[in-house]
Amino acid sequence: MDKFEELHKGWAKVPESKQIQMDEAKKKECICPKCPTYTNCAKNAKELLFCMKGKSFMCVDKAVECICPSCPVTGEYGLKHKFFCMKGAEKAQRYENALWGTKIV
Ligand code: SF4
Ligand code: SF4
């Protein structure tokens, strides 16, 4: 079990209201607004923390670059993926990889 899986196991026991508080606090560390892929639409909708919350709601449609690997949250949460605003949260991308693996390209 890797770091993200360990953390996820712990988060599953945290009440939803506390999880929302934790996500709101973590949004302050999100560096997405500095990323060239981030848009004004996403800014106006206050979209952040895509790695946990999932894809942008119709505000990001062109992948330019992803600076998630240089975000402190990546190391802290043990994230393995990126482009969360377009591809979905870490959990969702892990699930898709587990389903499809590398056999289907
Ligand atoms: S890893 Fe990416 S999506 Fe997650 S908080 Fe950092 S910049 Fe935002
Ligand atoms: S998830 Fe990655 S690609 Fe999307 S805005 Fe954040 S840093 Fe940029």
Q: What is the pLDDT of residues 40-91, one digit of tens each?
A: 999 999 999 999 999 999 999 999 999 999 999 999 999 999 999 999 999 9
Out of 66, 70, 81, mutate this one to test ligand 2's pocket (max ligand atoms within 8 Å of CB): namely: 66
Question: 38 alpha carbon to ligand 1 midpoint, in Å?
Answer: 11
Tell me which residue has tokens 């590398």: 102
Mean confidence (pLDDT) of the chain: 94
Q: Is the CB of 42 under 6 A from ligand 1?
A: no
pTM listed for this prediction = 0.93
pLDDT at 105: 43
